Structure 1
Amino acid sequence: MNPGETRTGPLAGLKVLELGHYIAAPFCTHVLADLGAEVIKAEPPGGDPFRGWGAAVDGNSVWFSVNGRNKLCIELDLKRQKDIALKLAERADVLVENFRAGQLERLGLGPDVLHRVNPRLVIARISGYGQDGPYRDKPAFGAIGEAKGGIRHLTGYPAGASDLPPPRCGISISDDLAGMYAAIGLLAALWQCDAPGAAGARGRGRVVDVNLVDSVFSLMEGMLPEHAMDGRIRQPFGAALPTAAPTNTYPCADGKWLCIAGNSDLIFGRLMREIGHPALADDPRYRTNGDRCARRNELDSVIAAWTRTLPAKAAEERLEASDVPCSRLYDIADCVSDPHFQARKSVLEIDDPLIGRTFHPGPAIRLDGERPEAVVAWTGPKVGAHTDFVLHELLKLPREMA
C-alpha cells in the first residue's frame, strides 16, 4: 500500500501526530496505526534514537520494522520548525508525546498553544512520573518505572534463595503498559469529545496524563488492601503463584520446564489423578485452595517428581489430555513454529524492503471481518521517508518551508 491510499480498520480516518521517541509513545501509536489510524511520526534530524537499538540489517533496525510500521515518518526539528509542528497539530485529532514533563512547554508546544490552533485536539502525554507531583522533573526510563512502580521488587526469588538482584521481566513492560494506557485514555477522551450524551463538554480537546510508574503500580493486584489490612508487604515468590496452588514451573527430563496451573479444586483433582496420586485429590489436607497454599511445597515436590520422569512435551501432552492447564516455556522460535500461532496469523511473514523477509507480530486485537495479515500496510521506513509527502501533499506547504 502507498502512503496516500486510504487505510482500513476501525480507526480509519483518525489522524495522529506522534512526537515520540524510544518505546512508550511509539508503542501507543503503533497500536493505533495497526487499527487503521493515520500516524505521522515526527523524528528529530537523524531519526528516533530507538532506531539504533537492537539487531540491524545494513544499518536498519529490525525492531523499528515493527514499531514504525504503518507510520508516515518525517524529519522535523521542533526547535527550528515549530510552525510546521503547529500545522501538523492543526489537522490532527490526537497528539502523542513522551518527553520529560515540561519539555513540550519549553519547546513552545504546550497544551495551551496546541489548543489555540486546534481546540479539539486530544493530547496524550507519557512521562516517567506524570505532569505533576514532587517527582515530576526527575528523569526516568522503563527500568525506573519498574523499580518505582513495585514490580521489580516482585520479580525475584524468596529471601535467601539467591544473592542476585531482582531481574527485569525481559521486555520493556512499563513503556508498553504506559503506551497501552495512553491509547485507552485518548480513545476515552475522543469519545467524551464526540459522543452524544457523553459526560463533559463536547467538542473540547483533553489532555491525557499517563506515566511509567503509575502504569506499573496499577498492576499491583491486591497488595494495597493487603498492606492496609495488617501492614503486610508481598514478597518475591519465584515461579510460583502466591495466591493459588499448585501453580509453578517444574523441571522435566530433557532439561526444559513445564508451567502447570492447578488453580481450582476440579483441576487439582484431575492433575493428581493424571500424575498417579488419586488419593491426594480427595485428601482433606488439600481440600481448599487455602489448604493447598499452606502445603504448596509438599505438592510441588510430588508434581516435580513426576515431571522429572518425562520430556516437557510428553508431560504437556499428558496433562492436556486430562484438561489440566499447562505449557512448556516457549522461546521465540517455539512461537514461530507453533501451529496455533500460525493458524491465527499471530506471526506474519513480511517482505520488508529494508531488511528483507522477516516476521512481524500479528494484531493482538481481533475484530470480526478484519484479516490479521492486512494489518501491515508498510513496514517501518527510513528516516524522513515521508517528509515530502506529508509537508507538500498533505499540508500543501510551499517548498521553502521544508
Structure 2
Amino acid sequence: MWVLDGYRPGALERLGFGPTYVHEVAKRRGKGIVYARENCYGWKGPWKHRSGWQQISDAVTGIGWLFGRMWGRDEPVMPFLPNSDFQTGIVGCIAIMNALDKRNKEGGNYLVSTSLNQLNSFLISLGTQLPDIQQDLRERWPDMLQSRYYDDLHRQMRVLASSLPKVAPALFQAKNFKTIKADLGVPDEDMVFLGPAVTYDTTELHYNSGSCMRGTHKPEWPVNEQSS
C-alpha cells in the first residue's frame, strides 16, 4: 500500500493524514506504508507552505530565462511542454517503486519527497547544451523562435502541434497510438492517445478506462480489461 500526497505541506496534516500519522498506523498494523508527496517549492524553507505549479517553478528557479536565451531572447520564455511536471512525476514513480521493493524485502515505512523546484534545480546543475546544438534546434524549429515572455503554454502548444508533423513526422506513425472508449458525453465515443514508450515481456502497459466526465464510474477497482 502507498499514499500519494499532492497538496502543499501541512494540508493533509491538518486533516489527520500526514506521513507521521500514516506511518504510525502502519506500525500498529505490522506492515509498512510508502508515503509519497510532491509540491512546488520543496519541503523545507520559507516558501514551502505556498501553492504553485510548473510555470511558477520555471520562473522562480531560472529555467524560463535559460529557455529564453536558448531561443535567442533576452527575456524569459516558458518551456513549450510541461517538462518539470512530467519529470518530477517520473522521478517520484521511480522512487515509489524502489521504496515498494525495499519494503517487500526489508519491511518498514518509507517517505518519498519530490518538488518541481528540486527537479528544475537539478536540470540547471546539468548545464546547457553546446552552442552548435542550440543553433541546430533553432534552425529546425523556426516557428518557435517567435515565442515571447507573455506566451502561455496553450498558445505555445498550438504552435508546437503545427510544427511537429513537419519536424518529426516519425512520431505520427499509427503504431505509436492506441484507441480506448471515452465517456465525455458523446455516445460510443473513442479517443486516440499516445501509447506506452516501452513494452515488457510479461506486463502490458495499458489503461482500464479512457477520459471521462466526473461521476462516470463507480468508486471501485476497474476490471482488468485489455485496451485495444
Structure 1 length-normalised TM: 0.43
Aligned to 1:210: 114
Matches within 5 A, 1:41-120: 93-119=1-27, 120=32
Q: Helix, strand or coil for the counterpart of 2:16? A: coil
Provide Cα deviations, 1:125-153, integer angstroms capped at 9, x if missing partner: 00112222232123322112112233112
Q: Aligned partners of 2:170, 2:131: CA distance in 1, in Å?
A: 32
Q: Aligned partners of 1:388, 1:246: CA distance in 2, in Å?
A: 51
Question: Are the equivalent residues in 2 in contact too, given 1:102–1:131 (CA < 8 A)?
Answer: no
Determine if the alignment matches structure 1 residue 334 to structure 2 residue 130: no
Question: Are the equivalent residues in 1 in contact too, given 2:181–2:209 (CA < 8 A)?
Answer: no
Question: Are the equivalent residues in 2 in contact too, given 1:98–1:126 (CA < 8 A)?
Answer: yes
Determine if the alignment matches structure 1 residue 156 to structure 2 residue 63: no
Q: Helix, strand or coil for the counterpart of 1:389? A: coil
Determine if the alignment matches structure 1 residue 348 to structure 2 residue 165: no
Structure 1's 204 and 103: CA in aligned 2 closer, same or farther, altered over 3 A? same
Pairing partner for 2:123 from 215, 219, 223: 219
Q: Aligned partners of 2:219, 2:202: CA distance in 1, in Å?
A: 34
Provide Cα deviations, 1:73-128, integer angstroms capped at 9, x if missing partner: xxxxxxxxxxxxxxxxxxxx111111011111011111122123334110110011
Question: Are the equivalent residues in 2 in contact too, given 1:177–1:216 (CA < 8 A)?
Answer: no
Pairing partner for 1:189 from 82, 94, 99: 99
Matches within 5 A, 1:377-388: 377-388=208-219
Code of the aligned partner of 1:212: L
Question: Are the equivalent residues in 2 in contact too, given 1:149–1:217 (CA < 8 A)?
Answer: yes
Q: Aligned partners of 2:121, 2:54: CA distance in 1, in Å?
A: 13
Q: Aligned partners of 1:179, 1:214: CA distance in 2, in Å?
A: 12
Could you list the runs of 5+ residues in structure 2 that have no partner in the other structure? Answer: 145-159, 222-228
The structure with the largest helix share of the pair is 2
- Report which stretch shifted further, 149-158 or 380-389: 380-389
Aligned to 2:151: none
Q: Aligned partners of 2:11, 2:102: CA distance in 1, in Å?
A: 27
Question: Are the equivalent residues in 2 in contact too, given 1:194–1:203 (CA < 8 A)?
Answer: yes
Q: Aligned partners of 1:342, 1:369: CA distance in 2, in Å?
A: 25
Q: Aligned partners of 1:383, 1:242: CA distance in 2, in Å?
A: 47
Question: Are the equivalent residues in 2 in contact too, given 1:351–1:358 (CA < 8 A)?
Answer: yes
Code of the aligned partner of 1:361: L
Matches within 5 A, 1:122-271: 122-157=34-69, 162=73, 165-195=75-105, 202-223=106-127, 241-242=130-131, 247-250=136-139
Provide Cα deviations, 1:197-235, integer angstroms capped at 9, x if missing partner: xxxxx2112111101100111112444xxxxxxxxxx7x
Q: Aligned partners of 1:206, 1:215: CA distance in 2, in Å?
A: 20
Question: Are the equivalent residues in 1 in contact too, given 2:6–2:37 (CA < 8 A)?
Answer: yes
Pairing partner for 1:359 from 168, 187, 192: 192
Question: Are the equivalent residues in 2 in contact too, given 1:241–1:248 (CA < 8 A)?
Answer: no
- Report which stretch shifted further, 150-159 or 96-105: 150-159
Q: Helix, strand or coil for the counterpart of 1:359? A: strand
Structure 2 length-normalised TM: 0.71
Structure 1's 210 and 245: CA in aligned 2 closer, same or farther, altered over 3 A? closer
Q: Aligned partners of 1:246, 1:389: CA distance in 2, in Å?
A: 52
Aligned to 1:288: none
Structure 1's 245 and 128: CA in aligned 2 closer, same or farther, altered over 3 A? closer
Give the drift of 1:341: 4.2
Larger radius of gyration: 1
Aligned to 2:153: none
Structure 1's 368 and 221: CA in aligned 2 closer, same or farther, altered over 3 A? farther
Question: Are the equivalent residues in 2 in contact too, given 1:149–1:214 (CA < 8 A)?
Answer: no
Q: Aligned partners of 2:65, 2:108: CA distance in 1, in Å?
A: 41
Give the drift of 1:174: 2.0
